Structure 1
Amino acid sequence: MQNNIFELQYAMDTFYFLVMGALVMWMAAGFAMLEAGLVRSKNTTEILTKNVALYAIACIMYMICGYAIMYDGTWFLSGIQLDGASSADTLVSTVLAESAKAGFDGSSVYANASDFFFQVVFVATAMSIVSGAVAERMKLWSFLVFAVVMTGFIYPMEGNWTWGGGSVFGMYSLGDLGFSDFAGSGIVHLAGASAALAGVLVLGSRKGKYGPNGEVRAIPGANLPLATLGTFILWMGWFGFNGGSVLKLGDIASANSVAMVFLNTNAAAAGGAVAALLLARILFGKADLTMLLNGALAGLVAITAEPSTPSAIGATLIGVVGGLLVVIAILTLDKLKIDDPVGAISVHGVVGLWGLLAVPLTNTGTTFFGQIAGAVTIFVWVFVTSLIVWLIIKAVMGVRVSEEEEYEGVDLSECGMEAYPEFAKN
């Protein structure tokens, strides 16, 4: 009877991991729709191509070497079948022994393949953040070359120092300093934003974005209904992003934790959306839809670092701060002439940092020093290595399309087709 319970626990936790991973994979559609809605129609096909291709590249590179680097494993996932056991019967015996030893103390027991699947969709999420920030003027193949390095090396290295439990170049352990990032406000979102910032600085702003006297010129997206759909898809997928990070479901305590994570994730998104909408109304005198959308995403990013310990009202307030910060950050980056068409650096970078700093407010096992140390480590590593890679790519093959190609739209120059051929370009 007890063995049957252990087997059921293994099956349930494995299945839960897979379902949550599928939800996170669906976020790839959210990023694609959000970015396609916020760029001009003449750049839609290219942004969609980037999102599909980067997801595929992330899956391949994380399989080849990323997962091994992050968790000190073997390349090409060798030995992951049957969790390294020689047969199915041996696997059953191993799992039962591990479960008995754990004594239902909350330890996670699940298939290694499900863990890889859940992890690989996080890698793709980090890379998706870069896609929107460099939109409308970057060469497609230069972007994809960077995606290979980002998903195969840059992200897995900082992942090893955080979730992988490794020490930073053998010098210090972030875990020993009290660093915690439940589902990746820093490890995924700040990392993606850091790579995006490096790319934007190398790339430069879109033609016509800033006037000769420093004035900021709005470049509206072509399809706000699509951007709104993308935001709702991301909101839904985030339940997998945060909920799956509980790592298991097969006991009462874990099931309750999953429920609280879902509740707090939703509450933070709502708080961020309302706060951004209200601040936009105060600043602009109008209800700005793009700020509302980014406010919801900011609330989600903010709560990702610790969605299990706040109360519902606490999670809402964390989201509120995220929503306010993202509006201020978007306006500030524009004043600095850092051109980010979709606000990705603000949403995932600035608010990702806030999410890390908010953790000690509700999780007494962490320290502000540890959170700051973790944030600095992630930013410096990803930004510096990304900057080097971007500069190498620029020297070898260039990173920016020609001025004529940018004017005509990168759909034609990079993909040879238009997303809306029956409409005139805007």
Structure 2
Amino acid sequence: MEELLNSTAADLTQLKYALDTFYFLICGALVMWMAAGFAMLEAGLVRAKNTTEILTKNIALYAIACTMYLLCGYYIMYSSDAGGILPNLGVLIGEENSVDAVLAGGDDAPYYSSRSDFFFQVVFVATAMSIVSGAVAERMKLWAFLAFAVVMTGFIYPVEGYWTWGGGFLSEAGFSDFAGSGIVHMAGAAAALAGVLVLGARKGKYGKNGEVFAIPGANLPLATLGTFILWMGWFGFNGGSQLKVSNIEDANAVAEVFLNTNAAAAGGVIAALLVARLLFKKADLTMALNGALAGLVAITADPLSPSALASTLVGAAGGALVVVSIIGLDKLKIDDPVGAISVHGVVGIWGLLAVPLNNADATYSAQLLGIVSIFGWVFAASLVVWFTLKAIMGIRVSEEEEYSGVDLAECGMEAYPEFTSVK
């Protein structure tokens, strides 16, 4: 009888391990599909003459993120000392969990494959880098961008990831960020802001007397498709961050996370539409799209603790805030073609500050420490890299290349050869 019970327990352990590993991998695949969402969103919001280059950036940055995180990023993030600031440096991702380790049981026994953990984490790194792509669109050199991607995904992101999810000093201080409003989204926006400040605005975006001239994107259906893809992928982004689904408590938590993620996105769309209507007297589609993403970013810091109604309100606040932020950054002459800094940075900060409203274990002091530490590190480190690249190879295309379109200058081909205009 005892042998039968032990065999049954081992079988159950293996089944739970397989289920949690499979769930982790499926959520990672959903997040990977967000790369397509970013590509379509950005391709829709830039001008036709810059479409091929932005698509090239998106597929290349994903490949670079996967490679750099494999070579050194994952080790930096998850192989460093608990409670520390300076990470350990090393390479590759270690060994897979053994059968004996899994069947040993106890709190220290692994409950999903270490390879599934790497896959889930690497697609988050690519997401952070994708945020930079849209903000610097239409005037940055392709190879300078890709060089920055190497440093961002291999070192800058893993360091602040170690401080938080890797058990570093922010984790010890009680900083709470369930799925990455700050760790992923605000970090990507901080790197983007540094790049935009060094790069400067697109030609014709701002007038001498403070005028702001709209530069419409070429394909709003594509941008809308990209937003829906991102919305879908976000269920993996937030749902997978529960880490397991093989018991009643975790299964219920995953369902709550899915519900709240969807509610926040809906709240963001509605609020952005209403604010745009009040300010512009029109239903602005681009603001609605950014409102959906803002709602998703806002709830990502804690999609589990709030009720569905509270999540809708958190998302709605993000949707309203992103409209105001996009207008405000334009007044400051910070040119962000897709609104990435506002969506992921400004609203990312709001999402982190909203956590204590619904989670009694979170404190504003810890959240503020996390915001300042992550933003400060990523912004300062990115600024150094951008200035270094500017000195070594230059980061901005020539005025003539910008006018003709970076598709031809950087890629030698056009996305819409029959219809491209240089106006």
TM above 0.5, one fold?
A: yes
**1:301 corresponds to:** 297
**2:45 corresponds to:** 38
Secondary structure in 1 aligned to 2:171? coil
One-letter amino acid of the counterpart of residue 369, structure 2 = A
Match of 1:331 among 323, 327, 341: 327
- 1:35·1:342 contact (CA, 8 Å) conserved in 2? yes
**Structure 2 residue 107 is the aligned partner of structure 1 residue 102:** yes
**1:180 corresponds to:** 176
- The separation in 2 between residues aligned to 1:176 and 1:290, in whole angstroms, is 40
One-letter amino acid of the counterpart of residue 144, structure 1 = L
- 1:180·1:366 contact (CA, 8 Å) conserved in 2? yes
Secondary structure in 2 aligned to 1:29? helix
* 1:101, distance to aligned residue in structure 2 (A): 1.6
Instruction: Output aligned runs, 1:73-84, within 5 Å.
Output: 75-77=90-92, 79-80=94-95, 82-83=96-97
- The separation in 2 between residues aligned to 1:358 and 1:125, in whole angstroms, is 22
- 2:165·2:171 contact (CA, 8 Å) conserved in 1? no
Match of 1:407 among 403, 406, 418: 403
**2:64 corresponds to:** 57
**2:356 corresponds to:** 360
**Structure 2 residue 339 is the aligned partner of structure 1 residue 343:** yes
CA deviation map 1:291-347 (0-9, x unaligned): 000000000000000000100000000001000100000000000000000000000
> What do you get for the CA RMSD once the two structures are aligned?
1.2
**2:306 corresponds to:** 310
- The separation in 2 between residues aligned to 1:346 and 1:264, in whole angstroms, is 22
- 2:261·2:311 contact (CA, 8 Å) conserved in 1? yes
- The separation in 2 between residues aligned to 1:260 and 1:108, in whole angstroms, is 24
CA deviation map 1:203-229 (0-9, x unaligned): 000000001111000000000000000
- The separation in 2 between residues aligned to 1:378 and 1:261, in whole angstroms, is 24
TM normalised by structure 1 equals: 0.94
**1:223 corresponds to:** 219
* 1:94, distance to aligned residue in structure 2 (A): 1.6
One-letter amino acid of the counterpart of residue 121, structure 2 = Q
**1:18 corresponds to:** 25
* 1:93, distance to aligned residue in structure 2 (A): 1.9
* 1:191, distance to aligned residue in structure 2 (A): 0.1
Match of 2:191 among 188, 195, 215: 195
CA deviation map 1:201-258 (0-9, x unaligned): 0000000000111100000000000000000000000000000000001111000000
* 1:200, distance to aligned residue in structure 2 (A): 0.1
- The separation in 1 between residues aligned to 2:227 and 2:72, in whole angstroms, is 31
**Structure 2 residue 138 is the aligned partner of structure 1 residue 136:** yes
- The separation in 2 between residues aligned to 1:424 and 1:360, in whole angstroms, is 49
**1:376 corresponds to:** 372
- The separation in 2 between residues aligned to 1:357 and 1:79, in whole angstroms, is 35
CA deviation map 1:337-389 (0-9, x unaligned): 00000000000000000000000111111100100100000010000000000
- 1:13·1:110 contact (CA, 8 Å) conserved in 2? yes
CA deviation map 1:155-179 (0-9, x unaligned): 000000010012xxxxxx2233321
CA deviation map 1:14-69 (0-9, x unaligned): 00000000000000000000000000000000000000000000000000000000
Structure 1 residue ranges (4+ consecutive) displaced by more than 2 angstroms after TM superposition: 73-80, 175-178
Q: How many residues align?
A: 407
CA deviation map 1:249-292 (0-9, x unaligned): 11110000000000000000000000000000000000000000
- 1:190·1:348 contact (CA, 8 Å) conserved in 2? yes
- The separation in 1 between residues aligned to 2:294 and 2:232, in whole angstroms, is 14
Q: Which moved more, 1:331-340 or 1:175-184?
A: 175-184
* 1:78, distance to aligned residue in structure 2 (A): 5.2
CA deviation map 1:80-114 (0-9, x unaligned): 2x32xxxxxxx2222010xx3239xxx86111000
TM normalised by structure 2 equals: 0.95
**1:151 corresponds to:** 153
* 1:79, distance to aligned residue in structure 2 (A): 3.3
- 2:31·2:234 contact (CA, 8 Å) conserved in 1? yes
- 1:305·1:359 contact (CA, 8 Å) conserved in 2? yes
Structure 1 unaligned spans of 5+: 84-90, 167-172
One-letter amino acid of the counterpart of residue 163, structure 1 = W
- The separation in 2 between residues aligned to 1:214 and 1:78, in whole angstroms, is 51
- 1:42·1:411 contact (CA, 8 Å) conserved in 2? yes
- 1:63·1:75 contact (CA, 8 Å) conserved in 2? no
**1:117 corresponds to:** 119
- 1:23·1:240 contact (CA, 8 Å) conserved in 2? yes
Secondary structure in 1 aligned to 2:103? helix
One-letter amino acid of the counterpart of residue 59, structure 1 = C
- Matched-pair identity in %: 74
- 2:193·2:379 contact (CA, 8 Å) conserved in 1? yes
- 1:177·1:369 contact (CA, 8 Å) conserved in 2? no
Instruction: Output aligned runs, 1:243-254, within 5 Å.
Output: 243-254=239-250
- The separation in 1 between residues aligned to 2:381 and 2:9, in whole angstroms, is 50
- The separation in 1 between residues aligned to 2:150 and 2:256, in whole angstroms, is 36
One-letter amino acid of the counterpart of residue 73, structure 2 = G
Structure 2 unaligned spans of 5+: 1-7, 81-88
